[in-house]
């Protein structure tokens, strides 16, 4: 049995007593596991990511010991554990992964003697409910100045030079709809953007994750008690529109963002813009250049777009200082 090193798992996953899943995909330092879960929208495919590196946490992920990671990856590459790339599940028992929570939390890979123990592993909380946030124009303007300078120096472009320019306008419309609490407008913009772009996580999807992180932070700043709940009530209704409209990998991150769960680097950026974070903003921004080919900068573009719209609209219902 192997002990997980660190994790960031949602409460609904941790509360589940028994789930059956399979290996969805295998990459260099990432293994994605897919499970079918009961949710407010019915049966929903959810993804848990096993990480080899503990550099940056992402939503619904577990950092695992290197021997365990390489063993599972080798088995998958040798077809001992089959990888489901087309959502057509093979019924071989070696394809199944069980999550069992009784007295202990275990990820059990059937057919092989490998068990990942999640018990006694700290669940890293990146929830915005846990920090005190403030909506201040001065901090937002400081961010915009930094990010503009950063773009000039990073020598790396985002993916928006390869997709229609109307998408940039639609990103602003999406942010505006979230700011005004207009579900219908948000849904129309969301559906027009989702899946647009190339790669495992299309550029517009990444940008919408950045927008959602920024807006979630604003809701939390304006109403510390109920802001995030209000945000989730608005954005949660967009989850059904995510099903089968984009890649499986991108769908995971969008669903997490709609539920108010973000990567560690986005969490740090939200805390800088809305909180009392003393971290070097340029160092935070540099981390976005290391995410995917253009995914990090696409996400940053979305966050920047949301900040611009917040300033123009003076926040949600004018609540900004």
Rounded Cα distance, 209 and 171, in Å: 11
Note whether 18 and 6 are within 8 A (CB): no
User: What is the predicted pLDDT for the residue at 226?
Assistant: 93
User: What is the predicted pLDDT for the residue at 102?
Assistant: 53
User: What is the predicted pLDDT for the residue at 243?
Assistant: 78
pTM (two decimals): 0.91
Note whether 284 and 269 are within 8 A (CB): yes
Chunked mean pLDDT (size 10), the chain, 321 residues: 90 84 88 86 87 85 92 78 44 58 72 79 84 91 94 87 90 96 95 93 97 96 93 94 90 96 95 91 93 93 96 70 53
User: What is the predicted pLDDT for the residue at 80?
Assistant: 62
Q: In what order do the strands lie in the sheet with 114-117?
A: 2-3, 114-117, 105-109, 96-101, 18-26, 30-39, 42-51, 61-63, 6-8
User: What is the predicted pLDDT for the residue at 210?
Assistant: 98
């Amino acid at each position: 049995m192997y002990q997980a090193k660190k994790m960031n798992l949602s409460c609904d996953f941790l509360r589940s007593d028994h789930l059956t899943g399979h290996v969805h995909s295998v990459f260099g330092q990432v293994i994605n596991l897919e499970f079918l879960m009961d949710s407010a929208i019915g049966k929903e495919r959810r993804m848990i990511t096993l990480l080899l590196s503990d550099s940056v946490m992402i939503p619904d992920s577990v950092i695992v010991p290197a021997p365990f990671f390489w063993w599972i990856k080798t088995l998958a590459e040798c077809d001992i554990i089959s990888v489901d790339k087309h959502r057509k599940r093979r019924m071989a028992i070696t394809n199944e992964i069980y999550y069992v929570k009784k007295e202990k939390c275990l990820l059990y890979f059937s057919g092989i003697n490998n068990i990942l123990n999640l018990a006694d592993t700290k669940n890293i909380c990146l929830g915005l409910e846990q920090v005190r946030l403030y909506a201040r124009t001065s901090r937002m303007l400081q961010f915009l100045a930094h990010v503009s300078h950063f773009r000039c120096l990073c020598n790396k472009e985002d993916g928006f030079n390869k997709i229609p320019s109307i998408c940039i306008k639609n990103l602003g419309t999406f942010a505006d709809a979230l700011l005004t609490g207009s579900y219908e407008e948000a849904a129309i913009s969301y559906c027009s953007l989702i899946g647009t772009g190339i790669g495992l996580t299309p550029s517009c999807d990444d940008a919408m994750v950045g927008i959602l992180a920024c807006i979630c932070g604003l809701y939390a700043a304006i109403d510390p008690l109920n802001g995030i709940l209000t945000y989730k009530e608005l954005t949660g209704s967009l989850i059904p529109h995510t099903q089968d409209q984009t890649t499986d990998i991108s769908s995971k991150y969008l669903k997490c963002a709609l539920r108010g769960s973000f990567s560690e680097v986005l969490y740090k950026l939200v805390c800088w813009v809305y909180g009392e974070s003393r971290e070097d903003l340029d160092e935070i921004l540099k981390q976005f250049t290391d995410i995917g080919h253009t995914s990090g900068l696409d996400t940053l573009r979305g966050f920047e777009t949301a900040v611009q719209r917040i300033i123009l609209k003076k926040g949600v219902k004018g609540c900004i200082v």
